[in-house]
Amino acid sequence: MSNAARILNPALRSKIMSADEAAALITPGANVGMSGFTGAGYPKAVPLALANRIDAAHARGEPFRIGVWTGASTAPELDGALAKVNGFAMRLPYQSDPNCRKQINSGEMEYTDIHLSHVAQYAWFGFLGHLDVAVVEVAAVLEDGRLLPANSIGNNKTWLDQADKVILEVNSWVNAGLDGMHDIYYGTRRPPDRRPVPINNPGDRIGDRYYTIDPSKIVAVVETDSRDRNSPFTPPDANSKLIAGHILDFLAHEVRRGRLPRNMLPLQSGVGNVANAVLGGLIEGPFEDLTAYTEVLQDGMLDLIKAGKMRFASATAVSLSPDAALAFNNDAQEMKKSVILRPQEISNHPEVIRRLGIIAMNGLIEADIYGNVNSTHIGGTAIMNGIGGSGDFARNAFLSIFMTPSTAKNGAISCIVPMVTHVDHTEHDVHVVVTEQGLADLRGLSPKQRAKVIIENCAHPDYKPALREYFTRALEESPGRHTPHLLDEAFRFLPEWKAQQASRAAE
């Protein structure tokens, strides 16, 4: 399909222009809502052109920075390019780009890390300021001006509704055969006019196939023809397979105890190799007729669908390896029988997550012995990526599982610590912590009971003695013994213990 055939509306055809011309419509200080979620469906031409424009302005000594709101993470062509030219005044609600992260952690740009289900409503409520421009990738423009979405939905509906001006990127690489995969819910309202979101099963369709937009707002249409920048997944390592094994054993145990149906409940899975290993494990496992209600479709979920193990998957975006992305695009007609892409306010809606009873599986940076989880900060001060949808899912899930290797940096750091340096998921929201060492089932336990199972089941043997020592001493010396802590040592305990061990070994 040529680009021409992708832009059927005559009025919008007349607005076709180059990315440079379109980028010239974005002014310094603007808030710009862009498409893009986990590296899928981000605009591929205008942000690069805009970065050049900003760079040139800076070279002339003119200030030029913008606020950028997206669905979630994008790609080097967007976050990377704009960060490199110091083009961000403010970024929200999620990023995972090395250059962007560097800018945030050097204090050169502001970053607001928001639950992904909250973003669209905050824009509607007027909590984020005014949205000046939207830059949204779509797969096609219909004759009547409606828009066929591409490989992610994210907050596109809201950006298209809210922005004063809209720049479309029409990407002819995306197979137009995915027409019918999307479900754009136009039933959201601002309180007090909200009504139930009528999803009772992951496969329920409640919206439209297309974005509807006032065509007079569209100021530019840019043609593109390039695929999403996908990263290959490395095959699961031994630790990922062990973690997957513990989770599958636990789920099988829950079925035997009658606490889970034989076909589970809808799965949510964070992105990454551990998550893919769990999904890979399910292919071998005894569970049939699975469903997913999640943010992102990964390779592992498509494999489950192809293997006939998963009946249906609902998400807001795909995030696939290059080969899987190619296959997904080629098989769009077939895939849409088992896949729905929704706006992220619906894929991550607390109401729907609680109703469906999701089994939520998310990664973490560190967990403490009392079950608090840090998902976002290195050393309590530097952002890694952001909370993403983990809070939407963990708080409202049927089962909230957090998984991590027990150590990082080749064993130099324990991911189980006395006290996390930043809290994203509180002790109230974490049912299960699992590492390659084992699984801690925290349901119904008091803090001290949690500490015992987390240390004994999850900590790496190299750090278990230190954590036991901390907990034992805290039990004796802590002013309060509900959550015993030695505040003066909480953050230093493990590094100092490790240094002692090393110096003893050197003697």
Q: Annotated binding site, which residues?
A: 270-274, 365, 385, 389, 409
Residue among 138 and 373 whose Cβ is closer to its own copies? 373
Distance (Å, whole) CA 450 – CA 482: 11
Distance (Å, whole) CA 91 – CA 81: 13
Residue among 145 and 371 whose Cβ is closer to its own copies? 371
- CA-wise closest residue to 461 among 500, 506, 406: 406
Distance (Å, whole) CA 275 – CA 279: 6
Distance (Å, whole) CA 431 – CA 453: 12
Binding site listing for CoA: 270-274, 365, 385, 389, 409
Closest approach, Cβ 447 to its own copies, in A, equals 8
Q: Phi/psi zone of residue 209: left (φ > 0), alpha (ψ -120 to 50 degrees), beta?
A: alpha
Beta bridge pairs of residue 167: 135, 220
Give the other-Cβ count within 10 Å of 11's Cβ: 12
Residue among 97 and 429 whose Cβ is closer to its own copies? 429
Residue among 452 and 464 whose Cβ is closer to its own copies? 452
What does R_g of the chain's alpha carbons equal in angstroms? 24
Beta bridge pairs of residue 34: 135
Residue among 248 and 423 whose Cβ is closer to its own copies? 423
Q: Provide DSSP, 208-240.
A: BSSB---GGGEEEEEEE-----PPPPPPP-HHH
- CA-wise closest residue to 373 among 407, 437, 416: 416
Closest approach, Cβ 315 to its own copies, in A, equals 18
How does DSSP classify residue 103? H
Which two structure tokens, joined as six digits, stand for 256? Answer: 């035997």
Residue among 242 and 304 whose Cβ is closer to its own copies? 304
Tell me, yes or no, if 137 is annotated catalytic.
Answer: no
Closest approach, Cβ 276 to its own copies, in A, equals 25
Beta strands in 397-507 (DSSP E): 399-403, 407-408, 413-414, 416-417, 432-435, 438-441
Closest approach, Cβ 1 to its own copies, in A, equals 39
291-314 as b/e: b if 16+ CB within 10 A: bbbbbbbbbbbbbbbeeebbbbbb
Residue among 19 and 131 whose Cβ is closer to its own copies? 131
Selecting among 295, 345, 366, 436, the annotated active-site residue is: 295
How far is CA 17 from each of CA 62, 147, 161, 226, 452, rounded to the nearest angstrom?
25, 18, 22, 17, 63
Residues carrying an active site annotation: 295
